[in-house]
């Protein structure tokens, strides 16, 4: 009798644990490419140069649910010169994307997801030639519609996935000094001059897309190679800025799927 009770209790707890285990997809990628910078607070010139990106993503999905949570951490650094190669700007930023997506299995190999994302960004641009106002801080929060499409297919008896991800601007807020206003006036003198600005797709378009291919190597890893493009613009407080990023991304993908346990 005691053995029967023990088996029943163990079966119950194992079943409950299995139901709570989510499917998780984790990826780590490095990107290399170029960025183009413009910030009229620092200079009227456009700057371009080599840039690097680290991108870490994590997606949680429960097999019995159509909703998933996608979290992406993106770090960027660029070293850009003007057209005369006499002036340099250094740019760096960190972006956090948190998205809630609903999925539809449109065919046996095609899955589409759509939802909304919040993007928080913090960064800087530093002009090495400016003695007055040499740096510009960047701080923003945007809400963005987002969508993905994933198509699986076999290649050389291995599993491949073609994936496209897109984020578009909707609304948000950002920090910006006003035209002719110094950071000393903002933070030392406390002279506020419309420095927290509401943004729209017209005043601060922010378009981001990823296209990647995954190839699974048994007993090794799933490799991912693709393109990441992030195009950020703003026209607020009589100042213009943009950061156009193009990256070739290479990395690995790991999947942890829920497995049925039995006694």
68 class by beta-carbon count within 10 Å (0-12 exposed, 13-18 middle, 19+ buried)? buried
- The model's pLDDT over 101-126, given as tens digits with 9 standing for 90+, comes to 999 989 889 999 999 999 999 999 99
pLDDT band at 261 (very low <50, low <70, confident <90, very high): very low
* CATH architecture classification, 23-256: Beta Barrel (2.40)
Residue 252 — very low, low, confident or very high, per pLDDT cuts 50/70/90?
very high
Q: What is the CA radius of gyration of the chain?
A: 23
Query: What pLDDT score was predicted for residue 7?
Result: 41
Cβ atoms of 48 and 35 within 8 Å: the answer is yes
CA separation (Å) from 109 to 121, 152, 154, 159? 34, 5, 10, 11
How does DSSP classify residue 10? Answer: H
pTM for this model (two decimals):
0.85
Residue 52 Cα distances to 19, 97, 178, 179, 246, angstroms: 40, 18, 30, 30, 9
């Amino acid at each position: 009798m005691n053995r029967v009770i023990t088996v029943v209790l163990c079966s119950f707890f194992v079943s409950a644990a299995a139901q709570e285990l989510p499917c998780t997809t984790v990826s780590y990628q490095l990107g290399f490419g170029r960025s183009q910078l413009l910030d009229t607070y620092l200079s009227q010139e456009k700057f371009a140069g080599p840039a690097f990106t680290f991108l870490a993503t994590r997606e949680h999905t429960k097999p019995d649910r159509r909703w998933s949570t996608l979290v992406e951490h993106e770090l960027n650094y660029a070293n850009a010169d003007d057209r005369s190669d006499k002036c340099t700007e250094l740019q760096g930023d960190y972006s956090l994307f948190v998205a809630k997506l609903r999925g539809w299995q449109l065919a046996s190999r095609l899955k589409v997801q759509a939802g909304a994302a919040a993007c928080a960004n913090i960064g800087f641009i530093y002009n090495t030639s400016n003695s007055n106002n040499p740096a510009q801080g960047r701080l923003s929060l945007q809400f963005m519609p987002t969508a993905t499409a994933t198509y699986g297919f076999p290649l050389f008896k291995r599993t491949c996935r073609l994936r496209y991800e897109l984020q578009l601007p909707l609304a948000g807020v950002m920090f910006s000094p006003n035209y002719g206003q110094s950071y000393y006036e903002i933070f030392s003198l406390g002279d506020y001059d419309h420095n927290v600005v509401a943004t729209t797709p017209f005043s601060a378009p922010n378009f981001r897309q990823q296209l990647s291919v995954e190839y699974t190597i048994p007993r090794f890893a799933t490799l991912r190679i693709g393109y990441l493009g992030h195009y950020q613009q703003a026209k607020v407080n009589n100042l213009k800025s943009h950061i156009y990023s193009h990256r070739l991304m290479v990395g690995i993908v790991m999947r942890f799927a829920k497995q049925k346990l039995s006694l």
